[in-house]
């Protein structure tokens, strides 16, 4: 696809690996956490750990899960830090930690992940890692984490809208342009 955007006019195929890394960093460090933070501010008391049924996740579970996923896939597997994830515990938790503490832990992990991503070169994207018994390239690992984070951010937004209708807005749609408010 060709674009007439001045920012992209001079880009070449050789630029795409670094553009992919930069865009991934932006989603993981700025856009998705900003949306989650707005949701957490809007959640009514007592809803952080609320589940619609035993098979569903609460916002609290999703925050634990996002932190564990990013740490395992990026910080540990790509960055080389020992992996100490307890995935089942992320879904088994039913309370005990407040939203600010959960978000602070997630933010800390995202800072660590950003440092790993900032060090990557285009050649690093082709290197292989085994993560959760899957043989993946670093490119695939980053792609997985970004899409996974997006999906669960969407779930957090949906749960927030169910618990606190009309309290969150992410874009100003004036003049037909979706201008971010975060």
- What confidence score (pLDDT) does residue 8 get? 52
**Beta bridge mates, 179:** 172
DSSP letters, the chain, are: -----TTTTT--GGGHHHHHHHHHHHIIIIIHHHHHHHHHHHSPTT-TT--SSTTS--HHHHHHHHHHHHIIIIIIIIT-PPP---HHHHHH--SSS-HHHHHHHHHHHHHHHHHHHHH--GGGGG-EEEETTEEEEHHHHHHHHHHHHHHHHHHHHHHHHHHSTT----EE-GGG--EE--
Band of pLDDT at residue 115, cut at 50, 70 and 90: very high
Report the share of the chain in percent with pLDDT over 90. 84
**Residue predicted with more confidence, 2 or 12:** 12
- Region 5-23: mean pLDDT is 80
Structural domains in the chain plus CATH codes: 15-167 (1.20.120.450)
- Region 76-97: mean pLDDT is 95
- What confidence score (pLDDT) does residue 34 get? 98
Band of pLDDT at residue 182, cut at 50, 70 and 90: confident
- Region 91-118: mean pLDDT is 97
Band of pLDDT at residue 3, cut at 50, 70 and 90: very low
- Residue 2: pLDDT over 80: no
Cβ within 8 Å of residue 178, ≥6 positions away: 171, 172
- Residue 5: pLDDT over 80: no
- Region 19-31: mean pLDDT is 98
pLDDT 10s digits, 121-167 = 999 999 999 999 999 999 999 999 999 999 999 999 999 999 999 99
How many angstroms separate the CA atoms of 24 and 14, rounded?
A: 17
**Residue predicted with more confidence, 7 or 157:** 157
């Amino acid at each position: 696809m060709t674009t007439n955007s001045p920012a992209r006019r001079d880009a070449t195929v050789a630029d795409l690996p670094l553009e992919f890394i930069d865009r991934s960093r932006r989603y993981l460090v700025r856009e998705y956490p900003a949306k989650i933070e707005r949701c957490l501010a809007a959640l009514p008391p007592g809803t952080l750990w609320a589940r619609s049924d035993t098979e569903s996740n609460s916002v609290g579970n999703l925050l634990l899960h996002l932190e564990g996923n990013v740490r395992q896939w990026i910080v540990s597997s790509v960055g080389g830090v020992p992996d100490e994830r307890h995935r089942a515990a992320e879904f088994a938790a039913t309370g005990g930690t407040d939203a600010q503490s959960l978000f602070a832990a997630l933010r800390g992990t995202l800072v660590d992940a950003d440092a790993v991503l900032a060090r990557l070169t285009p050649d690093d994207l082709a290197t292989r890692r085994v993560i959760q018994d899957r043989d993946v390239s670093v490119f695939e690992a980053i792609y997985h984490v970004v899409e996974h984070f997006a999906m669960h951010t969407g779930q957090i937004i949906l749960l927030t809208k169910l618990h606190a209708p009309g309290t969150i807005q992410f874009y100003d749609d004036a003049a037909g342009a979706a201008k971010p408010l975060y």
